[in-house]
C-alpha cells in the first residue's frame, strides 16, 4: 500500500542535542511538507520542498533544518537552537492539485 511513513512515533531530546525525524513516502509525490502542531493550535508549516534538492522555509523554520536528496525522503532535523521543540510533528506530501496526504506523526518531548 502507498503511504507516508514517519519514524519514530515517539522521540526524546536531551538539552543541546540535535534529533532527526524521518519521513518517507512511496506515493511518487513531488512535494513534501513538515508541520508542527501545538496544543490548541492548528498546524504550522516548518519547511516544504517541491522538487528534489530544493526546499523553502515555512512560517516557523528557525531552529529546524531539512534535506531533500531523494524524492521519497524529507527528513527534519530539530537543532539545539530550537528552544521549545516539544510538539507533534506531521509530514505530508502531494502532487499536482491533489490534497495533501499525511503521515501518522512523531511526538517529540524534552528529557
Partner 1 sequence: AQTVTQSQPEMSVQEAETVTLSCTYDTSESNYYLFWYKQPPSRQMILVIRQEAYKQQNATENRFSVNFQKAAKSFSLKISDSQLGDTAMYFCAFRTGFQKLVFGTGTRLLVSP
Contact residues for partner 1, defined by CB under 8 A: 31, 33, 40-45, 48, 50, 58, 88, 90, 92, 94, 97, 99-102, 104-105
**What's the gap between Cα 96 and its chain centre?**
20
CB of 70 to partner 1, least distance (A): 19
Closer to partner 1 at the Cβ: 13 or 44?
44
Closer to partner 1 at the Cβ: 80 or 105?
105
Check: CB of residue 25 under 8 Å from CB of residue 32.
Answer: yes
CB of 97 to partner 1, least distance (A): 7
Closer to partner 1 at the Cβ: 50 or 67?
50
d(CA 74, CA 92): 10
d(CA 105, CA 111): 19
d(CA 90, CA 11): 13
Amino acid at each position: 500500500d502507498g503511504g507516508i511513513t514517519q519514524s519514530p512515533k515517539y522521540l526524546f531530546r536531551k538539552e543541546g542535542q540535535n534529533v532527526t525525524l524521518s519521513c518517507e513516502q512511496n506515493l511518487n509525490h513531488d512535494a513534501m511538507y513538515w508541520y508542527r502542531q501545538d496544543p490548541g493550535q492548528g498546524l504550522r508549516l516548518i519547511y516544504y520542498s517541491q522538487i528534489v534538492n530544493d526546499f523553502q522555509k515555512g512560517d516557523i523554520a528557525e531552529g529546524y533544518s531539512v534535506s531533500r536528496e531523494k524524492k521519497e525522503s524529507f527528513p527534519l532535523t530539530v537543532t539545539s537552537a530550537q528552544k521549545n521543540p516539544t510538539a507533534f510533528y506531521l509530514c505530508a506530501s502531494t502532487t499536482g492539485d491533489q490534497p495533501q496526504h499525511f503521515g501518522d506523526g512523531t511526538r517529540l518531548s524534552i528529557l
